[in-house]
Structure formats: structure tokens, C-alpha cells
Chains A and B, each alone.
Chain A
Amino acid sequence: MTNNNEIINVQNVLKIYKGDTDVYALNDVSLIIEENEFFTLLGPSGCGKTTLLRLIAGFEHPTSGNILLNGDDISLLPPNKRPVNTVFQSYALFPHMTVAGNIAFGLEMLGWTKQEVSKTVEEMLELVKMEELKNRRPSEISGGQQQRVALARALAPKPKVLLLDEPLSALDLKLRKQMQIELKRLQSETGITFVFVTHDQEEALTMSDRIAVMSEGQVLQYGNPREIYHHPENKFVANFIGDSNFLSATVESENAILSDGTKLKLPKSKRSESFGQKSILIRPEHVIMKSISPEKSTFKGKIYNIVYFGTDTHFHLELPTGEDFTIRKQNTPNEGNEFEIGSVVELVIDEDAIQILND
């Protein structure tokens, strides 16, 4: 991807909250958000993702560093001067205005004519399927409906970038799934760049074109969901996204050697990487269990717990090294009790499933 279609460029942004001890909410963050993409800031609470969003919105200003929008430095512009709108976590709908009044507000502030305003309001109501409730007050509609109004209100002025601050966190699971699909649809229909903040890794994986994983005020890694899931660069990212098995190993030219001497062959693409004592990652679904031929197999473990989840079954094993290891096996209709607690099994992995991490 080239830089030609970058829309937001965050350059070495530092945000310090002064206090008894200074808090580095953002510690030298740089990233580029491209036009027309669904970009997600993912991280645990307190990682600085909301702070970054508020800096882009203009509610706060960086201590140092710049934020560019289409190449122009907007770091110090107030929110009402930026072509950027926000969907707030609390929705922040104006309680004394109707649904239509809320959607019209931004357009009125921009000085649009009455006809333009009412035409756009109708379009937006249609876009979020709220035509029938347009004369209701926010207090008279459900949480999911309020969510749609908040979206319509923020989309109505056709911003260059739409910022979404954990907008789905207040909804129940089923509604959240619906809204995830809905958001994706809105993004592709409007062609507006979405910057979405969440702590929910599943949400991030399913909706995003690209994800930036944040922790303690820093961006640890950013890339598309596949890259992030299959090639996490460090333990934090691997741990935060998906389930993981971490094993400590000595990495040599062709093998990773576990502490009991078991050799795991490394994929060719990873052989040139740094050697020495490392953590390696193996995802639970990338391992197949086989009934054992003990003398031959090198990588094995003993099952000590089996948890049935419907779609799949989780096997908890203890490796000869003493480390825990989880395997996820998809269930099939004609399944028997192939493996039982206490049995020792052989573990078969594709060498590409091994990921070497930088701690």
C-alpha cells in the first residue's frame, strides 16, 4: 500500500497527563490510517486507545507530535473545526431533541439550508432504518436504536473520518453481532474511513481491515487481522488476540528445542531470525492429536482435562517439560471418545504453525 491514499497520519504523538506522577497516556505513537478503511484500535482498558481517538477528534491536544488529516496538521484545531465526527460510547444524544433533531444538529451548525438538512436527515434515517421513529425522543427508544441514531447523527455531515468509541459495549450479545454487520455495511456504503476503538478482540478481527494493537500508551503492532492473528510479533499481542500456547524454547538454526530436549522443526521462512532463548507460540487449533506410537514420536503430552464446547472440544495437556498445552479440536457428528483423560498422545503440528516471539 502506498502513502498516496493516507487520510490520517499520526506522527510521534506523546500525551502526558501531569499529576503527582506524570501519566504517559500515549508514548510516541505513530501510525497511518488509509482512506476508506475500517481501522481498529484494540487494547485493554487504559492502553491509550480512547486517548488517541480523542486526540484525533480534537477534544484533547497532543503534548508533542503531530496529527495530519489529508496532509494538513490538525493537532491544535478545536473539534468543531475538524471534518471528523464521533460516535460516543454513551451515544451523547441530545435528550431535548427528537431523533430527527439530533441528526439535523450538525448540519444546522454547518449552516446548511433547510431543504438540504431535511433531505439529508431523511437519507440518514433511511440508511439506519429509523424512519418511523424520527419524532421520538432519545429516552423513548431502545439502546440499539439510540446507537443507530448516534451513527446517523455522526454520518450526516459526511465527515472524512468517523470515530467510534466502543459504541457496541452497551449492547447485548445478539444485538452486538447485528450491529457489527451493520457497521461494516455502513462503512462500505458510505465509503467513509472508520476508526473504531474496542477491547473486544473478536469484534476487531471480524470487522476490521486493519488493526492496531495497543498497550500502555504504545502501538505494539498493526496490520490486517490475518497478520495480527497468525504472525503476532510479541507475547502481548499473541495473548490478547485469540488463545495461545506459549512454550519456552532455545531457537537454533533449524529447530526450536524445548526444555526437555524435544526438537520442533522451524519453517524455512523463520530460520534466519534471531537465535537464543525465546518464547514460541502455537495456536490451539493448529495441532492435531494422534494415538500414540510412543517410541517414535518426539512431541507428546498427557491429557488431564477435556472440556466440551459444542462446536469444538478443548483438551488440556501436560507436556513432559511440565508446561501446559491446550488443543482445540473441531467436533464432528460421528465422534467417539477417541481420547480420554490420562492418555498420552502424539502432537502433530505443521511447521508453519510455530511462531517465534520477541518478548
Chain B
Amino acid sequence: MIENENIKSQDSAEKAAKVEQEAQRKDVRNRWLLSLPALSIIFLAAAGPLGIVIIYSFLTPGDYTGVIWTFSTETWISVVLERDFFDETLGWADAHLSIFWRSIRLSLITTILTAIFGIPTAYFIATRSPRSRNIWLFLITIPFWSNLLVRTYAIQELIRNKGVINNFLQWIGLTNEPIEMMFTDFAVGFGMTYVYLPLMVLPVYASIEKLDFRLVEGAYDLYASRWLCLRRIIVPLVRPGLIAGSILVFIPCLGAYVTPQILGGGNQLMFGNLIALQFGQGKNWPLGAALSITLMVIVMIALVYFVKVSSGENKENG
């Protein structure tokens, strides 16, 4: 009898183990099943086209549009270098390089400007009462409700030669001639700062809101001046938000298309416009593809740099 029972209990233990294993297996399988739609979208919409872009960048441009399926590295060379029309020697592709440089420069300036305007704004919102905080955050997100194109034309309406600002300045007699603002770096920088400002404010707000102001009191108590308190306590604690905001602003700026197209016009091209040009008027798909990949590489380098900055700071105090 006792033996029997022992066997029975062993049996049931084994059974329980089996059931558990089975359940675990099911669990894993279900997880994969659940993520399948997302994974397939990622694969189809990102990995697939990316592969096509890489392949196209190594082909020869077609006569009018599209590609001819002959392998060539000529396109990649022409991203940064230019073959002289007469003697075929290679020189820097100044047109491309100046556009790269403008993109990086304007993106950096935009990031810095959004930080300068965004940090005080975020600080202001974070120090309101919880109720009015929500209202301010809501106000910050209002621009997202209307189309980017519409908003960009609205800016154009403000800064063009016969626009609101110039009319006003002339009316009060500050200038006789309209101030040229359209189709300059200023116009592009101004537009992008406006468009991307919320993307800086929100993450910075999130970190300031989490900041424990008792730490600030603690620093004052330990003989820190206002400036040292800001530098040693507040900035390091808000840094993650600042880095997140910088990434969110800098990276889309690099590839911005609409704003430079409308406010920069034909002579202030940025990376995005250059790529678009190759697929449109330029009729050079491989070059467009190669430029896209170049942009992606620059973005990756920037990301790695941002990540390094954030983790490096942590170690410094460690």
C-alpha cells in the first residue's frame, strides 16, 4: 500500500512537472505569436526596403529614371568626390560636402536653440502646480494637431518680404527695405527650432519633474552657491532628459525635408532635399540610395556619441 502510494505521488509529481514544462513552452510560443505582426511589419517596412536601398546604391543609374542592373561603385565615389569633367581626376564634391555641412550645422544650431528655449520652459512647467502643469503640457502639444506643411507655410507668411514681421517693421519705420529672411539659413533654423521645440521640452520636463528639490536644499546647506548647485546637482540630474531631447531634435533635423524645402528654397538644400532631388529631377536613383545610407551612418555616429556622453558622465562621478 505504502509503496503504491509512493509510486502514485511520484507519478503525480512527474505529471506536474510535465504540465509545467508544457505551459512554459506554450508561454514562449504565445509570446512569439503575439509579437509576430510587429516583427513582420518591422521586417517588411524597414529591413526589406533598407536592403533594396543598399543594393540600388551599387547599381548604375538608368537613362531617364530607375536603375540598370550593372554593378558599379562609381555612385559611392561620387558621394564625396567629383570626377573632373575634362581630365577625369578626382576632387572633393564641394556641392555635396557643403550640403552635408549645412545639415549638420543647422541641426546642431537647432538642437542648441531648442535647448536654450526648452530648458527654461520645461523648468517653468515642472514648477507649476500639478493641475496647471497638465494645461501647459497640453498647450505645448497643440502644434502637433495641425499639419507640418501648414505650419511651415504659416512661418513663411510671418517672415517673407511682404510678411507680417516685415510689414510691421516698415510700418513703425524701423526699416525702409524689407529684411531678407526667406531662403536663408536663418529661415531654416527658425522653422526647425519651432517645429522641434516640443520634442526638447517634453523629455527635459520629465527629468526636471522627477528632480527632488530637497537635493537642491541639501546642496545649499552644504555651502554650495547657486551656480555650483546648478552645475553639480541640477544639470547632472537633468542630463538624461537633455540627452534624450537632443537626440529627438538632432536626428530628425538632419533628415528634415519639408522645412528646408519651403523656407530654404532652392539654394539652402539640406540632406533630405538632396536625396529627394536625386530621385526626382536628378534621375539618379543609385546616388539617392547612397546618400540615404550616408545619412543613416551619420545618424548612427551621432547616436553612439550621445550614448557615450550620457554613460561617460555617469562614470565620471563614480
> Do chains A and B stick together as partners?
yes
Asked, given contacts A92-B215, A94-B233, whether A79 binds B317 with beta carbons under 8 Å apart, the answer is no
Residue-wise interface mask of B (216-233) relative to A, using a CB-CB cutoff of 8 A (1 in contact, 0 not): 011111111100100011
Report chain B residues within 8 Å CB of A96: 236-237, 314, 317
Contact of A90 with B214 in the complex, beta carbons under 8 Å: yes
Please, what's the 1-or-0 string for B140-165, where 1 marks a CB less than 8 Å from any CB in chain A? 00000000000000000000000000
Q: Which of A59, A88, A95, A96 has the most B CB atoms < 10 Å from its CB?
A: A96
The answer, yes or no, to whether A124 is at the interface (CB within 8 Å) is no
Q: Give residues of chain A (80-105) contacting chain B, Cβ–Cβ below 8 Å.
A: 80, 84-86, 88, 90, 92-98, 101, 105
B173 in the interface (beta carbon within 8 A): no
Are B228 and A109 closer than 8 Å at their CB atoms? yes
Most chain A C-beta atoms within 10 Å of own C-beta, residue among B212, B217, B220, B223: B223
In the complex the two chains form, is A105's CB within 8 Å of B314's CB? no
A78 to B221 Cα, complex, angstroms:
9
Q: What residues of A have a CB within 8 angstroms of the CB of B237 in the complex?
A: 95-96
Task: Give the total of B residues in contact with A, Cβ under 8 Å.
Answer: 20
Within the assembled complex, what's the spacing in Å between the Cα atoms of A101 and B219? Answer: 13
Q: Is B130 an interface residue (CB 8 A)?
A: no
Asked if B317 contacts A101 (CB within 8 A), the reply is: yes
Q: State whether the Cβ of A43 lies closer than 8 Å to any Cβ in chain B.
A: no
In residues 252-284 of chain B, which contact A (Cβ within 8 Å)? Answer: none
Query: How many residues in A have their beta carbons less than 8 Å from beta carbons of B?
Result: 28
Interface residues of A in 46-75 (CB under 8 A from B): 57-59
Report the nearest A residue to B236, measured CB to CB. A96
- In whole angstroms, what is the CA distance A227 to B110 when docked? 69
Nearest residue (CB) in A for B318 is A98
Confirm or deny: A157 has a beta carbon within 8 angstroms of a beta carbon on chain B: yes
Residues in B whose Cβ lies below 8 Å from that of A154? 221-222
CB distance from B95 to the nearest CB of A (A): 46
Given A97-B317, A98-B317, A105 contacting B217 (CB threshold 8 A): no
Q: Assess the B224–A80 pair: CB atoms within 8 A.
A: yes
Instruction: Point out the residues of chain B lying under 8 angstroms from A90, CB to CB.
Output: 212, 214
A153 interface contact, C-beta 8 A = yes
A106 close to B (CB within 8 Å): yes
For the complex, is A1 an interface residue (Cβ under 8 Å from B)? no
> What CA separation (Å) do A137 and B237 show in the bound complex?
14
A90 and B217 CA atoms in complex are apart in Å by 12
A110 at the interface (CB under 8 A from B): yes
Q: Which residues from chain B contact A97 at a C-beta distance below 8 Å?
A: 317
CA A105 to CA B216, docked complex, whole Å: 13
Contact A105 B214 (CB under 8 A): no
Asked whether, in the complex, the Cβ of B214 is within 8 Å of the Cβ of A88, the reply is yes
Distance from A157 Cβ to chain B, minimum over Cβ atoms (Å) = 7
Residues of B within 8 A of A85 (CB): 221-222
Our pick among A58, A59, A109 for the contact of B222 (Cβ within 8 Å) is A109
Q: How far is the CB of B311 from chain A (nearest CB, A)?
A: 13
A106 near B222 with CB under 8 A, answer yes
- Knowing A96-B317, A98-B317, A105-B232, say if A110 contacts B223 (CB, 8 Å): yes
Mask, A143-187, CB within 8 Å of B = 1, is: 000000000011001000000000000000000000000000000
Which residues of chain B in 176-212 are interfacial with respect to chain A, using CB atoms and an 8 Å cutoff? 212
Given that A96-B237, A97-B317, A105-B232 are known contacts, is A157 also in contact with B223, CB under 8 Å in the complex?
A: yes
- Once the chains bind, are B224 and A94 in contact (CB under 8 Å)? no
In the complex, which of the residues A98, A105, A154 has the most CB atoms of chain B within 10 Å of its own CB atom?
A105
A96-B314, A101-B317, A105-B232 known; A88 and B217 CB under 8 Å? yes
State which of B217, B223, B232, B236 has its C-beta within 8 Å of the C-beta of A59.
Answer: B217
Chain A: which residue is nearest B232 at the CB level? A105
Complex Cα–Cα for A105 and B221 (A): 11
The residues in B between 44 and 68 inclusive whose CB is less than 8 angstroms from any CB of A are: none
Q: In whole angstroms, how far apart are the Cα atoms of A109 and B219 in the complex?
A: 9
Q: How far is the CA of A157 from the CA of B221 in the complex (A)?
A: 11
Task: Verify B314–A92 contact, CB threshold 8 A.
Answer: no
The reply to whether B233 and A109 form a contact with Cβ atoms under 8 Å apart is no
Interchain Cβ contacts under 8 Å between A and B, 30 examples: A57-B221, A58-B220, A59-B221, A79-B221, A80-B221, A85-B222, A86-B217, A86-B221, A88-B217, A88-B218, A92-B214, A92-B217, A93-B218, A94-B215, A94-B219, A94-B233, A96-B237, A96-B314, A96-B317, A97-B317, A105-B219, A105-B222, A105-B232, A106-B222, A109-B223, A109-B224, A109-B225, A110-B223, A157-B222, A157-B223
**Minimum-distance CB pairs A-B, first 3:** A106-B222, A92-B218, A109-B223
Given contact pairs A59-B220, A154-B222, enumerate 8 new A-B contacts (beta carbons under 8 Å). A86-B217, A92-B214, A94-B218, A94-B233, A95-B215, A96-B236, A98-B317, A109-B225
